[in-house]
Amino acid sequence: MAAAISNIRSPSIILFGKGTVSYQRTAAPFQIPQFPLNRPRFTALFASLDDGNNNDDGSNKVTKAVGLEELFEDSPYDVVSKDSPFHPRPLSSTQLPNSVSAGSRLRVAYQGVRGAYSEAAAEKAYPNCEAVPCDQFDAAFEAVEKWIVDRAVLPIENSLGGSIHRNYDLLLRHSLHIVGEVKLAVRHCLLANHGVRVEDLQRVLSHPQALAQCENTLTKLGLSREATDDTALAAKYVACNKLKDTGAVASSSAAKIYGLNILAEDVQDDCDNVTRFLMLAREPIIPGVEKPFKVSLSMTIPFAVKTSIAFSLEEGPGVLFKALAVFALRQINLTKIESRPLRNQPLRASDDSNNGSKYFDYLFYVDFEASMAEERAQNALRHLKEFATFLRVLGSYPVDTTML
């Protein structure tokens, strides 16, 4: 049977925008105003938030690295007009427990519904946290900024699928800081309702990347594929609609939550399937020169340290080479470099009048193995700032050396 792929963005059981959905019951949505910053917890997560200006007065203050204060300041690049089409959408999520008392567990936002791999990453990053589901990446960023949650854990790259470009763009659009990372081994399962056999299936639902990662297995089974926003969302859809001819590719946790049967485990084509997640907070963690990081991570000690930055350059021969040389000259190893077209920038004409060609302006994301407390890292960024047209430190944080 030839495999076919179609796209259903959101199954009908999920309501975004003004609606809220619970797996057990549905609650009526309503609006909330901005809360004062000294209120540490909220009783529920609501369907929409008022737009407004928040500041972090009263939050935990962190001493900045000497000489690098200006690198951590918000730049004009981060400002998004309220009327801008790129302004984050209001937060929307599934219904949360009815009460959360002051001093309760850390609240951590993730994208998806219960049973998503992002939920597992959040629980690995912050054990015993209260994981808060959000329907989109934008909503998770906004939840942290508006003090609805304390942290967010969001995917940034996958060993098979590559970078999640949406979250790279959102890092610059918002003022959050990277305070850690967590790596999660992804193990896909083929799920279906009880009593359904593999040979009964005609199609399978899941996130597009999950479907691509199981391409060979699904092709051998002759199943057509339909895309959803999330792996756990696919499992929930199959369970709620009691489908007999449709399966889902999702985690074993999703099978348990939604009462599905696991027809096959480890259906991904490559066993080395790892997703790296970033831990985001309102305040940066800036390590001291003499003391190591002290953060709540379920990883081994001592910590290796990584710093993430974003910068842009003028066009010209050898300019990128010059930028990367500031690290090589100081024996700083780069672990990742990513380029993204600079948004809201028109094509620029080449300086060569005889050429007549046009080019894009690019923004570069770089991860390097050094702490901002180290003098060599500070000197490298001072050097880079001399000719970069834009430079921002996204975070200096411990490296996750474990995988689940």
Q: Which of 18, 127, 132 lies closest to 141 in space, CA to CA?
A: 132
Q: Which of 77, 281, 56, 74 lies closest to 169 in space, CA to CA?
A: 77
**Could you give the residue numbers annotated as active site?**
275, 277
Is the distance from CB of 307 to CB of 377 less than 8 angstroms?
A: yes
| Residue 54 one-letter amino acid | N
Distance, CA of 394 to CA of 230 (rounded, Å): 27
| Residue 141 one-letter amino acid | F
Distances (CA, A) of 161 to 164, 180, 217, 274: 8, 21, 17, 10
- Reported for 15-20, long-range contacts at CB under 8 A and 24+ positions apart, including other chains, are 16/92, 16/135, 16/136, 17/47, 17/48, 17/89, 17/90, 17/92, 18/47, 18/48, 19/47, 19/92, 20/46, 20/47, 20/92, 20/93, 20/94, 20/95
CA 187 centroid distance within chain: 19
Is the distance from CB of 198 to CB of 190 less than 8 angstroms?
A: yes
